[in-house]
Chain A
Amino acid sequence: DIQMTQSPSSVSASVGDRVTISCRASQGISTWLDWYQQKPGKAPKLLISATSGLQGGVPSRFSGSRSGTDFTLTISSLRPEDFATYYCQQTDSFPLTFGGGTKVEIK
């Protein structure tokens, strides 16, 4: 199985801050990496597909990038509605696997 290692597990930030979340795959997955946002009591919401494909309706302050097997989600200027938990997920092969999550908290 492909292991997805996500870091940090939590980050405290203020509105307006730039936040970066990292995700490393245990083997090559090309660009097959998605990012989800989950708020308490809700289902995950797809933000970015295939490393950098922003989903419709997702603000442009969210972006994704890749370097080899390392992937990054960047929130350029944190808004109040962005406080949530973020997960990466590889779609290269079954079983689909997720990172452990990063909780973005208010500083």
Chain B
Amino acid sequence: QVQLVQSGAEVKKPGASVKVSCRASGYTFTSFYIHWVRQAPGQGLEWLGVIYPDGGGTDYAQRFQGRISMTSDTSTSTVYMDLRSLTADDTAIYFCARAWQTPHSDLDYWGQGTLVTVSS
């Protein structure tokens, strides 16, 4: 069955970086995009960007440009999201989700989420 398994919770200090992983199984890794979405405590959903595992191309939300990177390792079917220069506002649960490699595709399977806490 399709699974996206994310790395464990992280606690970081302001100004630090965090790297969250998302390991896919149960489907052909290179046939789907991986999106990243976050949710601050008690808040709604915010899209961070997408990576195309087959080739490594990316599209990032404008507000994160310059401090976010997404990479993929096809040998382990794993995608990584790296967020730098963290502030308290980056405290959130970070989700990965897959989507078909077609325009307008939906986020049909999600990881379990990774809590990132930024605190001094």
Contacts and interface: CB of A to CB of B under 8 A. Distances in A.
Interface of B: 35, 37, 44-47, 50, 59, 61-62, 95, 97, 104-108, 110-113
A34 B111 CA distance: 18
A97 B35 CA distance: 12
Contacts of A34: 106-107
A95 B106 contact: no
Q: At the interface, is chain A mostly helix, strand, loop or mixed?
A: loop
B105 A97 contact: no
A50 B112 CA distance: 24
Contacts of B35: 96
Nearest to A31: B104
**Among all A-B residue pairs, the 8 with the closest Cβ atoms:** A43-B110, A96-B47, A98-B45, A49-B106, A95-B61, A91-B104, A32-B104, A101-B44
Given A32-B104, A43-B95, A101-B44, A94 B110 contact: no
